């Protein structure tokens, strides 16, 4: 079942390459998001039964094998909208989710701030009571789909001095007075930016979950998505290895394919070994999430993300080394992967933070 979904999404990814290439670097590619929706992937992600972490991993792995732009567009739309789908109150979900499902409405997840990254509970964006709603003031940085998203799942402090317990999740529309943003140019071409809120008024109906309990909304979303970051990395590693092995079997040196040289073949064997281990870790973490195994999920998800993203970095670097100068050509698959592969070791928890989590879970007897 998993393998079939991965392969189906890989085949679909091929059909998205042209649409992805028509997008402008650093801007939301709305045509690509709509194409993903037309294939039914958002219906799967936002199903009434609830998407499984296993399915989410399989979709991201399959898309990443051939079209990282499509993978990222799918994942970021999901990250921004899953909190609305799961925690929207009253008619909020019914009003907003149809446009998100169709790809006509672009969503984003706005947690990170200039001074609050890994320590996400240290938010300085403030939401103060104002009549039947809140006025939000602050800045968010390194937000995927910003500033081009239509809706933001945004986290702000509603109770001072309460740490994670004083954070509330809101849906904030980019069209509101006092909302502004700008693009941040990165080495990878994805839309990323900062947003500034200057007393933006948000009604009580736009609260996700309960007031002061928004950190739970954030963590439940990240618990679902963190194993799938590893799946994204596995897909990229597989793509790099595919290029390298194809080259090694056809490129000759001194009258023999370079695959016959142990200096090459052993490097690629090690990459394949690491990919296999990463994939097993990813789907083990996904299974823990889907079975409700909250005791081991945190540690398993951290191990999956850490090992898979580090493996992808090594896989791409090794593949470029095997191809030599060809791997550095600007329009090559490996050059594209080289720009893409670095970021997953940072977002949704850096490699160093993952090691901290693993150590903590180990000494607490949960690993």
Question: How buried is residue 69: exposed, middle or buried, by Cβ count under 10 Å (0-12/13-18/19+)?
Answer: buried
Q: How far apart are CA 82 and CA 51, in angstroms?
A: 10
pLDDT score recorded for residue 249: 97
State pLDDT tens for residues 175-219: 999 999 999 999 888 899 999 999 999 999 999 999 999 999 999
pLDDT score recorded for residue 187: 87
pLDDT score recorded for residue 329: 93
pLDDT score recorded for residue 265: 97
Here the contacts of 220-223 (C-beta below 8 Å, separation 24 or greater) are 220/86, 221/79, 221/82, 221/83, 221/86, 221/109, 221/153, 222/348, 222/349, 223/289, 223/297, 223/298, 223/301
Question: How buried is residue 8: exposed, middle or buried, by Cβ count under 10 Å (0-12/13-18/19+)?
Answer: middle
pLDDT score recorded for residue 365: 95
In the chain, where the domains are located: 2-102, 107-210, 216-363
Whether 348 is a known active-site residue: answer yes
The class (CATH top level) of 107-210 is mainly beta
Given the residues 10, 348, 352, 361, select the one marked as catalytic: 348
CATH numeric code, 2-102: 1.10.540.10
Residues with pLDDT less than 70, the chain: 120
Homologous superfamily of domain range 216-363? Butyryl-CoA Dehydrogenase, subunit A, domain 3 (1.20.140.10)
CB 58 within 8 A of CB 71: no
Tokens describing residue 49: 């039964």
């Amino acid at each position: 079942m998993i393998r079939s979904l991965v392969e189906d999404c890989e085949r679909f990814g091929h059909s998205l390459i042209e649409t992805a290439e028509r997008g402008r670097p650093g801007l939301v590619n709305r045509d690509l998001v709509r194409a993903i929706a037309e294939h039914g992937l958002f219906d799967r992600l936002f199903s009434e039964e609830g998407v499984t972490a296993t399915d989410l991993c399989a979709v991201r792995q399959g898309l990443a094998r051939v079209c990282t732009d499509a993978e990222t567009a799918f994942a970021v739309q999901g990250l921004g909208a899953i909190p609305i789908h799961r925690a929207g109150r009253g008619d909020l979900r019914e009003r907003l989710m149809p446009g998100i499902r169709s790809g006509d409405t672009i969503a984003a997840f706005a947690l990170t701030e200039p001074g609050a990254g890994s320590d996400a509970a240290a938010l300085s964006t403030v939401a103060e009571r104002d009549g039947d709603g809140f006025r939000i003031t602050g800045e968010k940085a390194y937000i995927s789909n910003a500033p081009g998203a239509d809706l933001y799942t945004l986290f702000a402090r509603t109770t001072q001095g309460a740490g994670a317990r004083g954070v509330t999740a809101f849906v904030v529309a980019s069209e509101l007075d006092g909302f502004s943003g700008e693009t941040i140019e990165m080495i990878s071409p994805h839309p990323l930016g900062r947003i500034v809120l200057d007393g933006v008024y948000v009604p009580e109906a736009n609260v996700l979950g309960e007031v002061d309990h928004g950190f739970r909304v954030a963590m439940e979303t990240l618990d679902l998505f963190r194993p799938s970051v590893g799946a994204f990395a596995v897909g990229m590693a597989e793509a790099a290895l595919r290029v390298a092995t194809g080259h090694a079997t056809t490129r000759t040196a001194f009258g023999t394919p370079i695959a016959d040289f142990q200096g090459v073949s052993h490097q690629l064997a090690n990459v394949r070994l690491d990919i296999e281990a990463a994939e097993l870790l990813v789907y083990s973490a996904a299974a823990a999430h889907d079975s409700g195994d909250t005791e081991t999920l945190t540690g398993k998800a951290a191990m999956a993300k850490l090992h898979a993203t580090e493996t992808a970095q090594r896989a791409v670097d090794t593949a470029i080394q095997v191809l030599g100068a060809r791997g550095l050509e600007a329009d090559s698959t490996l050059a594209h992967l080289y720009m893409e592969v670095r970021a997953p070791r940072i977002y949704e928890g850096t490699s160093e933070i993952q090691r901290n989590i693993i150590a903590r879970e180990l000494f607490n007897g949960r690993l």
